[in-house]
């Protein structure tokens, strides 16, 4: 188990290209594996989560070569996967596990999905219920947690499913099962969530119909191989958007960031707080994903109340947004974000404990938090609970405060390999200590 030892940072300056988008990297591997022909993927995130997904498809008979952030995948077609007699290890990735549950529900072989200690504690009933309505034979472990055991069935049936809670992972799992279902499969969302699955399926040749809050498809004859570039991950860029905003004199350029309108909530939240963020569009990359360079400079921030409509579009970025709120003048409030309690950790509780240790006045609620900003943060030792996003958020807080130690940071490699190296490149001082 490694810790980050962080010293106070002076101005952060320079240009960064953060690693490729994690959500899109998972999906690119999945769809390229199910396509007919050879796909080349550049900008792939070579993190532990996405490599776990890649290794699962290798285990299922897909040939894939990786060199850094480049992949060449030899697709086997929608019905070309081969069963494995061993459990399929998703590592720390809830995205990988949930999407794979939908994809594997329609296969002609049994599968068992497992993960690391953290993932084995995460709830999976919301995935199992709609898939069972489609006729899938899925069993969960104790308390509706992994392992997920899937048995083959004669056929899946398309359904129209209304999500009880906005979740791109559940939506995607149902649509992926729909690739193997009879008739139309449709998902209706209570609020818009990230639409990478819909965009990428269309790029690989599967028509997806989107009408307002309803996305639907019918099982295609097949998917066609694509050459695909994964944009830089806005979730990783978020740490630098906040760091540059709260550290005086900072001036950073973040290159080639995906700015999908269903993923850019953190940019809107920070700009509403007064952040100086310029968006320089580059147009659309592959699969219709908008990409831009982001230019961020230090600016005083003001506390805000987070609009409910923006929560789903910023759900992964709230740990570092809490840090921005701690440095803003005035009070910030978030409610309706109970989803944060069932991520890689209980992110509301983990961030509240760590920020309180650094001297932040706050009040934690079941579905959110109130943060009284404007207090000078003090050096402290804080526990990330093995959550990669909490670890990096605390590192940003320590850079802008009096330094500090962040414990249990190994899982940063799941989403942002090279975080420490890139931090050092723009002027931060972070050491990794065992």
DSSP letter for each residue of 338-398: GGGGGSSS-HHHHHHHHHHHTT-EEEEETTEEEEE--PPP--EEEE-TT-HHHHHHHHHHH
User: Interior CA angle at 178 toward 123 and 151, to 5°?
Assistant: 60
Q: Are 54 and 66 contacting, i.e. CB atoms less than 8 angstroms apart?
A: yes
**Residue 178 has which token pair?**
């729909």
Containing 215, the helix (H) or strand (E) segment is strand 214-218
The catalytic residue among 316, 383, 387, 408 is 316
Residue 387 known to be catalytic: no
The pairing of strands 361-365 and 290-297 is unpaired
CA-wise closest residue to 322 among 396, 230, 258, 211: 396
**Residue 145 has which token pair?**
């947690």
**Residue 340 has which token pair?**
């944060």
Question: Which residues face 331 on adjacent strands?
Answer: 372
User: Exposure pattern of 190-225 as b/e (b: 16+ CB <10 Å)?
Assistant: ebebbbbbbbbbbbbbbebeeeeeebbbbbbebbeb
Q: Are 428 and 5 contacting, i.e. CB atoms less than 8 angstroms apart?
A: no
State CA 216 to chain mean position distance: 23
Distance, CA of 273 to CA of 283 (rounded, Å): 26
User: Interior CA angle at 57 toward 219 and 40, to 5°?
Assistant: 80
**Residue 23 has which token pair?**
């959500």
The catalytic residue positions are: 316
């Amino acid at each position: 188990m490694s810790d980050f030892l962080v010293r106070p940072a002076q101005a952060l300056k320079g240009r960064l290209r953060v690693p490729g988008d994690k959500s899109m990297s998972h999906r690119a591997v999945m769809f390229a594996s199910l396509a007919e022909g050879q796909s080349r993927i550049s900008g792939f995130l070579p993190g532990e989560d996405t490599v776990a997904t890649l290794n699962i498809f290798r285990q299922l008979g897909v040939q894939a070569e990786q060199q850094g952030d480049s992949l060449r995948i030899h697709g086997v077609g929608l019905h070309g996967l081969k069963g494995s007699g061993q459990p399929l290890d998703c590592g720390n990735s809830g995205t990988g596990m949930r999407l794979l549950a939908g994809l594997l529900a329609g296969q002609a072989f049994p599968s068992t999905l497992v993960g690391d200690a953290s993932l084995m504690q995460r709830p999976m009933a919301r995935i199992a219920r709609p898939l069972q309505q489609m006729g899938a034979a899925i069993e969960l472990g104790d308390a509706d947690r992994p392992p997920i055991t899937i048995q083959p069935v004669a056929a899946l049936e398309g359904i129209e499913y209304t999500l009880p809670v906005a979740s791109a992972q559940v939506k995607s799992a149902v649509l992926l099962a729909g690739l193997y279902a009879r008739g139309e499969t449709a998902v209706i969302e209570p609020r818009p969530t990230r639409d990478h699955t819909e965009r990428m399926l269309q790029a690989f040749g599967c028509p997806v119909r989107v009408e307002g809050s309803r996305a639907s498809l019918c099982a295609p004859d097949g998917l066609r191989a694509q050459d695909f570039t994964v944009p830089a991950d806005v979730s990783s860029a978020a740490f630098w958007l906040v760091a540059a905003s709260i550290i005086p004199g900072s001036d950073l350029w973040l290159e080639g960031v995906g700015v999908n309108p269903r993923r850019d909530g953190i940019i809107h939240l920070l700009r509403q707080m007064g952040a100086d963020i310029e968006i320089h569009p580059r147009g659309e990359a592959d699969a219709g994903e908008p990409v831009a360079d982001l230019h961020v400079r230090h600016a005083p921030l003001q506390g805000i109340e987070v609009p409910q409509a923006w929560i789903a579009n910023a759900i992964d970025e709230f740990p570092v947004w809490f840090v921005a709120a701690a440095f803003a003048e005035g009070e910030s409030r978030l409610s309706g974000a109970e989803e944060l309690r069932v991520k890689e950790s209980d992110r509301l509780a983990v961030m509240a404990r760590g920020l309180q240790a650094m001297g932040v006045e706050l009040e934690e609620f079941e579905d959110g938090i109130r943060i009284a900003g404007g207090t000078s943060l003090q050096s402290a030792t804080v526990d990330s609970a093995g959550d990669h996003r909490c670890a990096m958020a605390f590192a940003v807080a320590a850079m802008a405060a009096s330094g500090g130690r962040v414990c249990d940071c190994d899982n940063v490699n799941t989403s942002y390999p090279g975080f420490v190296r890139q931090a050092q490149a723009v002027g931060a001082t972070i050491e990794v200590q065992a």
